[in-house]
Amino acid sequence: MEKVRFGIIGIGNMGSAHAVNLLKGEVPGAVLSAVCDINPSRLEWAKDNLGKSVMLYDNADAMFDAGGIDAVIIATPHYDHPGLAIKAFEHKLHVMSEKPAGVYTKQVREMNEAAKASGTVFGIMYNQRTNPLYQKLKDLIDSGELGEIRRTNWIITNWYRSQSYYNSSSWRATWAGEGGGVLLNQDPHQLDLWQWICGMPKRVRAFCGFGKYHDIEVEDDVTAYVEYENGATGIFVTSTSDTPGTNRFEVSGDRGKIVIEDEKLTFWRNRISEPEFNATYKGGFGCPEVWKCEIPVTGPNLQHIGILRNFVDAITKGTKLLAPGEEGIRGLTISNAMHLSAWTDSWVDLPIDEELFLSKLQEKIQGSTYKKTTVAKSLDVRGTH
C-alpha cells in the first residue's frame, strides 16, 4: 500500500495527540483518514482541528463498515480495548492499542487469539520500550554482561495524584469505570518493562492499600514481592501518594548491579563473578574488585511516535515489532496477580487462575460507586459472563 490509512477510536487526551502527530507527518507512510468518538464535543473538536479530509464517526461500527482505513488506534477506556480490537480484527484491520491491553487477562487472551486468526499486525503502545536507557539495560542483561539475575527492585512512586485529580471524573479510580488504580492506570509501562527486561516471575505476593491515602475504591499504594524460576527475587513498590516520589530500577546479578535513576544508567561491575570469587577467595572478609561504570546511552527516545513508526514499518515492510500487541498480556498478568494476591491475602502462582480473578473483579464492579451498564454488557459480549 502507498500509505497506511489510520482511523482513531477515542479522541480524548491520547487519541487527539496521535491524531495531531499523524496530521503533522510525524509518522512517514501513514495518513489520518478517520476518527470516532461517542462524545459529541470531541467530534466538534475534530471537525475544527483535523481538517475536512478526515471522516468523523460517532461509533466504531460505522467507521469499520465504511471502509477507507487500513489500521486503527484504540484510545478508549481500558475495558473497551479488547472488544474493539476483536471487531477490528474481524474487519481485517491492523490494530494499535493504547495500554493497558485490557483489564483482565481472560479478555486479553481472547483478543490475542483474534489477532492471530486475522493475520494482521497487532501492536501495543508501550512507548517506554523506545527509551534508550531501558534498551541498554535489556542489552546488558541479554548479552550476559550482568550475569544471572539474582534480584530486581523497582521503586516507582513519582505518580503523585491529589484528590482533586480523582474527583475530576466519576469513572476515575473505580472498579466499574477504570478497573484498577495505580497498577492499571500509571504502572502498565513499568510492569511491561520489568518483565521485558527481567522475565516473568513464577509467583507473586502483594499488599495493596485500596483508598489508603485517597477517597477512592481502587489501590493507591502497593508493595509486591515476586519470585523467579531461577530463585531470583523482586520487589515492586508503587504509589500515587508519595511526594516527592522516586523512580529507581535496580537489577543485581552475579557480575554486579545496574541502576537506572535520574535518567542515568550506572553499572557497578564485578571484575570476576561472585560465584567464581566465592569459590576461590581464601581471605575471609573480602569481595570482588568493583568498577563503577557510567554507561553511555545514546539514541533518540521517540516514545509514541517511535512506536507508531515501527508499527507502520511492520505493516508495509515486515519490520519486527518493538512492542507486539500479544505481549500486553504479560504485564497485565503481573498486575492481575497483584490484585488477586491482595484480595485473597495469599500467594498467587503464574499463570493466574483467570476465572477466579474475573469473579473477584465482578464482585468489585457490583459494589462500585460508578454505575455504568455498558461495563456489565461488555463483559458479556466478550464471552466472560
User: What percent of the chain is modeled with pLDDT above 70?
Assistant: 96
- At 89-126, the pLDDT tens digits run 999 999 999 999 999 999 999 999 999 999 999 999 99
User: What percent of the chain is modeled with pLDDT above 90?
Assistant: 95
pTM for this model (two decimals) = 0.95
Residues 6+ apart with CB under 8 A from 249: 137, 153, 154, 156, 193, 194, 259, 260, 261
How many residues are recorded in the chain?
385
Cβ-contact 165, 213 below 8 angstroms: no
Q: Which residue has the cell 503481573?
A: 334
pLDDT at residue 322 greater than cutoff 90: yes
As to burial, measured by CB atoms within 10 angstroms (0-12 exposed, 13-18 middle, 19+ buried), residue 373 is: exposed
Which residue intervals of 50-131 are DSSP H helices? 60-66, 81-90, 105-118
pLDDT at residue 385 greater than cutoff 90: no
Cβ-contact 324, 116 below 8 angstroms: no
**Cα angle for residues 146, 149, 152 (degrees, 5° grid):** 110
| pLDDT for the residue numbered 371 | 80
Averaged pLDDT for residues 293-315: 97
- At 9-28, the pLDDT tens digits run 999 999 999 999 999 999 99
Helix (H, G, I), strand (E, B) or coil at 340: helix
pLDDT at residue 383 greater than cutoff 80: no
pLDDT at residue 2 greater than cutoff 90: no
Cβ-contact 355, 348 below 8 angstroms: no
Class of 132-294 in CATH: alpha beta
- At 188-245, the pLDDT tens digits run 999 999 999 999 999 999 999 999 999 999 999 999 999 999 999 999 999 999 999 9
Cβ-contact 271, 253 below 8 angstroms: no
In the chain, domain spans = 4-128+303-325, 132-294
Domain spanning 4-128+303-325, CATH architecture? 3-Layer(aba) Sandwich (3.40)
- At 41-59, the pLDDT tens digits run 999 999 999 999 999 999 9
